[in-house]
Structure 1
Amino acid sequence: MDKDGMMRIGLSMRYLGYHMAAWRHPEVPADGAIDFQYFLDSARKAEAAKLDMIFFADGIGVRASDTPKGSLARDSKNAELEPLTLLAAIGACTSRIGLVATASTTYNEPFHIARKYASLDHISGGRAGWNVVTSWSQQEAWNFSRDEHLGYEERYERADEFVDVVKKLWDSWEDDAFIRNKETGIFYEESRLHVPHHKGKHFSVRGPLNSARTPQGRPVIVQAGAAEAGREIAAKSADVVYSASFDILSAQKYYADLKGRLEKYGRTADQLLIMPGLTTYVGRTRQEAQDKFDQLQELIDPLSGLAVLYSTLGDLSGYDLDGPVPEVATGPVSSIGEGLLDMARRDHLTIRQLYKLRASGGRQLIGTAADIVDDMETWFKEGAADGFNLCPAILPGGLDDFVALILPELRKRGLFRTEYASSTLRGNLGLQPLRFGD
């Protein structure tokens, strides 16, 4: 639990919502993912609600494969706006909401990332955040002159050095380096310039960064992923971790593990926030909430549903969707496939029922505002989360419901702010101010 007793809440805004059938919902504009106004409207709603940040995950390619044939043409996740460009535009139209976007360490260079996010931090007055990821898909490798993507160890080794170089570049200039004295003709104080001169296994970067130190000292660093190497990067350098726990016991274990790694890097528990993803279906009654969930489940195209099962159970398109999951089904991820088969047998699931379970996304809460806040409060107070990243099933409807029903309940219990505490993302997250060299 955060030291001020308040949850941190971000809004994940990629695509049209986090349910795979969101684009087919009657209240969702099917072309919204390439419409600036669509995203700006949601960002302004999030800011009016005093949420901490908006968050854009990203991939640098269409990562889905067309299996079974025809499934890719039914997938809305193949046309979107580049997130840093989008956030720069949103930043000019908002004043307090944090602006976080993913950028890969696999297919970028440290100088590019340092410069772009420093610029976003200046443009927004101190609201930028970088979500650090490695790229893992074959489809992304093909877009960058590679036949194969980098292996696990190389990806994370590169990512660790990449983050170190970016931090050095952000520290190229002390806070008061640029004195801009017209009378003496001195633009910057030479002793306050620090050229990185980095030479490592993956990068050789002289620097300095051609940007002044940013309003936050440096943009907030976010990390997403539960891999061992990723956890070490988070403990060493991240301010926020976007996690994906499904139950409180695994969330508590993850939380304790990450917080326990901080000491060896000279950091304290309050310097890293852990914010699991959460999708909510809320209604004034439990039945109303369930109806919202069921409506989306019915919109899942059968080929899209079968595509969700393909990587673990193989091609089931030749079988009766309302019949049992066949014993002969096998797929490239055999351990997960075996687990799905065991569940299908135990619960007597049809193929359609199984793909609906798999297709509905990450951790979900379905119920009244009191039901949902009970769960959120338990996670927050019992060492499982410092807050949450809201992943609405649909936008803007999922956000509207959260603001109208769940936020009042959170505030009634004293769990979420009524006003922003700072003009910067770092300040609103309750993170310590950064001194030069931190």
Structure 2
Amino acid sequence: MPTNMMKDKNGFKLGTFSSNCSSGMTVTKSPSRWVNSWENNLKLGQMLDDAGIDFMLPIARWIGYGGETDFHGSVLETVTWATALLASTKNITVFATVHTAANNPVVVAKQIATMDQVGNGRAGLNIVAGWNKPEYEALGLTLPDDHETRYGYAQEWFDVVEKLWTSTEYFDWEGKYFNLKHVAGDPKPVNGRPPILNAAGSATGRTFATDNADYLFTPAIDLNRSVDEIKELKAQAAEKGRDVGVLTFSHVICRETEEEATALRDRLMGDLADWEAVDNLVNLQFAHAQSFPHDLLAEIKNLFAMGHGGFPLVGTPRQVADGILKLHETGFAGTTLSFVDYVEEFPYFRDNVLPLLAEAGIR
């Protein structure tokens, strides 16, 4: 039976991010931007699986960011997407991304357990406590202004999910946010709790992540800052007797020559960018999210155009591999990868960058 690759903390983890969303992570008007069809996602998933990539991580979105392309206006729902991919692959871990406020924990516990059954123990859960106010409004929900309420709700939500995954009997639940009568979780996940991922920037969010997650997801903007940040997060988790890996996300433009790669990067940060959508995305991050350091947001607007603010891996295979090795040296447990067109560009990365990482001993 396959083991879940994200339960093994050895080696530097590589995954993809946002292939279920239109344009992926690139806020671009380019005609070659990512088309998030099921056909493309299936092709990508099987390609990643064959190459030994560890995981696929989706973004859950309900409305787009506007602009000429309505960036992320089309999104494949993540539980359905993940289940179908798990049924079509052999080794890769596939996460579902779930908003606590929009999804009942009894339903989610069963969905994730079903996913895990389909994938023979290869499911993962990415928990989102909420930040995108317009999406809450679109769903008829109210986004609490304070992090304490959001994460208090998320904690009880996850406590319910965990009990459903572990309890062998029916139970009642009387809490602050949930009152449940005679509930049980059957089937269970295949090999105990699936890996849990959570993106967190605020102190409250990071307390939640180090209490509950196996991996905390955070941007890598300033690697000198990241070194201390990762040490603090690892220490915070260790005080609770927990081992939490810190993941980040990267955007890849890998070409035979540095000139080719930087020329495309400059166009993605220039005339190819959907700047109205970029502005909407950055403004929402300023208004409601604490995932990105606010003092750096204004400086990295161009990185949002290229790859949603991800760490830039731009250049030749050697330069891209060196960038990944820097993330490893900084202390990250792994990174996600995104491309302008995942299916077109991943094979070159697979054939030319992965061998360099294996040679360096991190894969």
Fold shared, TM-score > 0.5 on shorter chain: yes
User: Looking at CA atoms only, which structure, 1 or 2, has the larger radius of gyration?
Assistant: 1
TM-score range, shorter chain: 0.7 to 0.9
Q: Is the 8 A contact 1:156 1:230 kept in 2?
A: yes
- State the match for 2:322 in structure 1: 374
* 1:423-434 superposed matches below 5 A: none
Q: Is the 8 A contact 1:105 1:133 kept in 2?
A: yes
Which of these residues, 216, 223, 245, is aligned with residue 198 of structure 2?
A: 223
- State the match for 1:25 in structure 2: 31
Give the aligned residue type for 1:387: G
Q: Is the 8 A contact 1:365 1:372 kept in 2?
A: yes
Query: Once the 2 structures are TM-superposed, how far is the Cα of residue 200 of structure 1 from its aligned partner?
Result: 1.7
Give the aligned residue type for 2:272: L
2:259 matched to 1:287? Answer: yes
Q: Is the 8 A contact 1:171 1:194 kept in 2?
A: no
CA gap 1:406/1:119 in 2 versus in 1, 3 angstroms:
same
CA gap 1:260/1:206 in 2 versus in 1, 3 angstroms:
farther
Query: Once the 2 structures are TM-superposed, how far is the Cα of residue 408 of structure 1 from its aligned partner?
Result: 1.5
Please identify, of 245-254 and 397-406, the stretch whose mean Cα deviation from structure 2 is larger. 397-406
Q: Deviations over 1:21-59 (max 9, x none)?
A: 1x6333x46xx32x2111000111111110111110112
Query: Once the 2 structures are TM-superposed, how far is the Cα of residue 130 of structure 1 from its aligned partner?
Result: 0.7
**Corresponding residue SS for 2:253:** strand
Which of these residues, 359, 365, 371, is aligned with residue 305 of structure 2?
A: 359
**Corresponding residue SS for 1:106:** helix
Identical columns (%): 23
Query: Once the 2 structures are TM-superposed, how far is the Cα of residue 132 of structure 1 from its aligned partner?
Result: 0.6
TM-score by length of 2: 0.85
Give the aligned residue type for 2:107: H
Which of these residues, 273, 282, 291, is aligned with residue 245 of structure 2?
A: 273
- State the match for 1:242 in structure 2: 217
- State the match for 1:213 in structure 2: 188
CA gap 1:213/1:155 in 2 versus in 1, 3 angstroms:
same
- State the match for 1:150 in structure 2: 144
CA distance in 1, matches of 2:169, 2:285: 51
* 1:180-191 superposed matches below 5 A: none
Aligned-residue CA RMSD (Å): 2.8
Q: Is the 8 A contact 1:63 1:139 kept in 2?
A: no
2:127 matched to 1:132? Answer: yes
- State the match for 2:4 in structure 1: none
Q: Is the 8 A contact 2:16 2:336 kept in 1?
A: yes
Which of these residues, 307, 319, 338, is aligned with residue 391 of structure 1?
A: 338
- State the match for 1:431 in structure 2: none
CA distance in 2, matches of 1:199, 1:264: 29
**Corresponding residue SS for 2:193:** coil
**Corresponding residue SS for 1:197:** strand
- State the match for 2:11 in structure 1: 6
CA distance in 2, matches of 1:310, 1:8: 31
- State the match for 1:176 in structure 2: none
CA distance in 2, matches of 1:287, 1:212: 53
* 1:70-149 superposed matches below 5 A: 71=67, 73-146=68-141, 148-149=142-143
Give the aligned residue type for 1:37: E
Q: Deviations over 1:172-201 (max 9, x none)?
A: 2xxxxxxxxxxxxxxxxxxxx244433221
Matched length: 345
CA gap 1:159/1:373 in 2 versus in 1, 3 angstroms:
same
Give the aligned residue type for 2:145: G
Which of these residues, 12, 37, 40, is aligned with residue 38 of structure 1?
A: 40
CA gap 1:123/1:381 in 2 versus in 1, 3 angstroms:
same
Q: Is the 8 A contact 1:168 1:196 kept in 2?
A: no
Q: Deviations over 1:234-261 (max 9, x none)?
A: 1111112222121212222221122112
Give the aligned residue type for 1:368: T
CA gap 1:402/1:25 in 2 versus in 1, 3 angstroms:
farther
CA gap 1:4/1:355 in 2 versus in 1, 3 angstroms:
closer
CA gap 1:286/1:207 in 2 versus in 1, 3 angstroms:
farther
